[in-house]
Amino acid sequence: MDTKVGADTRSIAFAELSARRAPLMWGQRAIWTGLLWRGERAYLYNQPLLVRFDPAAESSVLAALGRLLAENEVLRTVFHLDPKEPWQQVLGEGVLELDVRPLGDLPDGADAAGPLADLVRRPFDSSAELPLRVRLFGDGDGGEVSAVGIVAHHLALDGWSLNLLADRLRALVGGSTEPGPEAQQPCDRAEFEASGQGRRIAGRTLAFWDERIRAADPVMIRALPDPTPDQETATLVSARLAEALRTTAARAEVSETAVLLSAAGALLGVLTGARSAAFRVITAPRFRPGTRHLVGAFNQNSLLCTAPNTLPPGDELAATARALMAAYRHCECDPLEQDRRIVEAGAARGVATGGFCFFNDIRFETAYRPPAPAAPTPPAGDRLSRGSAPANYGSMFFLTLEELGPGARLTLAKDPRFVADCDPAAFLRALEESVVLAARSDGSAAPAATTDVHATAASRAAAALALTVREDGTSR
């Protein structure tokens, strides 16, 4: 790797590396359909990342970035988005351009959004431009660097992969000489997906989805008419919710995600009259050794139908947890074929499909760095805020679990036409109340009775939708 230094720019030239082409892998095809739908607002899919570390020599940071380029083909890939059959080309030679900003442009505690906003807002020319933009933050004279900002094209990287890159970059800047973990490259994965084994996996997934779509309540899968308005949003940070999620999950021996989805499904059932809620769960299908450390846009959708509200009290959470595990096992397939099958299954029932409730758990540490068992210190206080955001492709309700540390951080974005009388901020408060009520159930009762987050807690939480919310986000 050769590097060049300008006044406020740097460049890393690479050559004699692997070069090949392949179709997009399934996860990339899912992003491609979203990009087409976004049109001129496709930049909203750009992925920012800020990697901080102890001050290091700029030459060491540039060398580490060069190693990342060599190890990860997707970082030197261009994407040719042919409307009929998009494909990717890995470049064996090229140049990555970087810019340099003074460390003073990076306030303490700043996230990636502010210092990288100008890089995020600029669309990528996917067929001519490398899929990442890099900014160094340091003293600016070729001395030390304290942080690297990266903005990635979503066709190249998902959130999980960004965190893999961050870990690897910190290790390399810290002086590691160990080779990177063995993993499939996206072109390898695309080849696997086209193989007999890949087609069999896809066939099982599509059959699973067919069955679930045919059984789902129409209100949970019905398309809303165009045009799609901006979505109402709310964000809740709550220590009591975090504690209640852990308590209920430990008692029932299920994941916190299962508890949250069970309670959210119950509440949606109360609001919509649906017997069972349906969620498209964003899933990282890193089930095999070759995919555990794959760097690429790899996420796909699982389809969870929560437990029906006709089950005996106390059985809902366990049933939803089992359904969630089954959904995870059936997420790998071509998303375009998946969408076609959804339309067909809905049409057979007289339902125009296309609107879904989504859930995304973006806690990277859930799989790689389990939190220590020590009791967390509660944050200074909980917070509830409102806002608005551009709609997500195919989404009428999008719940995201962003953090589960001392406090749980949940964000909800909702199409205002879906359960129109439900305010997103009030929904999050009701969801919090539902889980807290479940956690407070009598620990001396039979285990089944202590895990009921549907029948009693959800019906009581439905009343919490009558909460009004002050401007400062507190409830009354």
Q: What CATH code is carried by the domain that includes residue 295? A: 3.30.559.30
**Mean pLDDT (whole number) for 298-322:** 86
Same domain, 372 and 451: yes
Residue 383 lies in a domain: yes
Cα–Cα distance measured from residue 422 to residue 413, given in angstroms and rounded to the nearest whole number: 12
**Mean pLDDT (whole number) for 86-100:** 96
pLDDT of residue 367: 38
Same domain, 75 and 211: no
Residue 195 lies in a domain: no
CA angle 181/182/188 to nearest 5° reads 135
Q: What percent of the chain has pLDDT over 90?
A: 70
Structure tokens at 84: 């009929």
Residue 110: which domain range?
Answer: 2-190
Residue 25 burial class via C-beta count within 10 angstroms: exposed 0-12, middle 13-18, buried 19 and up: buried
Q: How does pLDDT run across 346-356, given as a tens digit for each residue? A: 999 999 999 99
Q: How does pLDDT run across 321-338, given as a tens digit for each residue? A: 999 999 999 999 999 999
- Give kind and range of the element (H or E) at residue 189: helix 186-194
Residue 77 lies in a domain: yes
Q: How does pLDDT run across 100-111, given as a tens digit for each residue? A: 999 888 877 667
Is residue 455 a contact partner of residue 365, using CB atoms and an 8 Å limit? no
Residue 155 lies in a domain: yes
Residue 39, CA distances (Å) to 32, 123, 371 in order:
11, 11, 40
Is residue 153 a contact partner of residue 124, using CB atoms and an 8 Å limit? yes
Q: Residue 297: CB partners within 8 Å, gap ≥ 6?
A: 25, 27, 28, 30, 31, 154, 155, 156, 157, 158, 161, 186
Residue 395, CA distances (Å) to 299, 399, 403, 428, 460 in order:
16, 10, 22, 18, 27
**Mean pLDDT (whole number) for 460-474:** 44
Residue 239 lies in a domain: yes
Residue 476 lies in a domain: no
* CA dihedral of residues 365, 283, 286, 192 (deg, nearest 10): -160
What is the pTM for the complete model shown? 0.88
47-61, 281-295, 314-328, 462-476 — which is least confidently predicted?
Answer: 462-476
pLDDT of residue 441: 75
Is residue 406 a contact partner of residue 242, using CB atoms and an 8 Å limit? yes
pLDDT at 460 over 60: no
Residue 242: count of CB within 10 angstroms of its CB: 25
Residue 473 lies in a domain: no
Final residue before a domain boundary, out of 145, 165, 190: 190
Q: Higher model confidence: residue 59 or residue 313?
A: 59
Same domain, 175 and 246: no
Order of strands, sheet of 231-238, starting from the edge strand that comes earlier in the sequence: 300-305, 278-283, 356-361, 395-404, 408-414, 231-238, 383-389
Q: Residue 471: CB partners within 8 Å, gap ≥ 6?
A: none
pLDDT of residue 41: 82
Confidence band of 4 (pLDDT split at 50, 70, 90): low
DSSP E strands in 33-143: the ranges are 47-57, 77-80, 87-90, 94-102, 132-138
Number of domains in the chain: 2
Same domain, 248 and 396: yes
Confidence band of 136 (pLDDT split at 50, 70, 90): very high
Same domain, 446 and 316: yes
Confidence band of 363 (pLDDT split at 50, 70, 90): confident
Match 């351009």 to its residue by tokens. 97
Same domain, 92 and 120: yes
Confidence band of 113 (pLDDT split at 50, 70, 90): confident
pLDDT of residue 443: 42
Q: How does pLDDT run across 166-217, given as a tens digit for each residue? A: 999 999 999 999 999 999 999 999 999 999 999 999 999 999 999 999 999 9
Is residue 415 a contact partner of residue 433, using CB atoms and an 8 Å limit? no
Same domain, 226 and 181: no
In this structure, are strands 2-5 and 9-14 parallel, antiparallel, or unpaired?
antiparallel
Residue 87 lies in a domain: yes
Highest mean pLDDT among 98-107, 123-132, 438-447: 123-132
Q: What percent of the chain has pLDDT over 70?
A: 86
Same domain, 362 and 227: yes
Final residue before a domain boundary, out of 190, 217, 251: 190
Same domain, 267 and 168: no
Q: How does pLDDT run across 12-69, given as a tens digit for each residue? A: 999 999 999 999 999 999 999 988 888 888 888 899 999 999 999 999 999 999 999 9
pLDDT at 1 over 80: no
Same domain, 306 and 349: yes
Nearest to 297 by CA among 26, 28, 23, 25: 28
Confidence band of 409 (pLDDT split at 50, 70, 90): very high
Residue 141 burial class via C-beta count within 10 angstroms: exposed 0-12, middle 13-18, buried 19 and up: exposed
Mean pLDDT for the chain overall: 87
Count Cα atoms within 13 angstroms, Cβ side, for 45. Answer: 27
pLDDT at 2 over 80: no
**Mean pLDDT (whole number) for 61-89:** 95
CATH number at residue 17: 3.30.559.10
Same domain, 219 and 184: no
Same domain, 58 and 152: yes
Final residue before a domain boundary, out of 140, 170, 190: 190
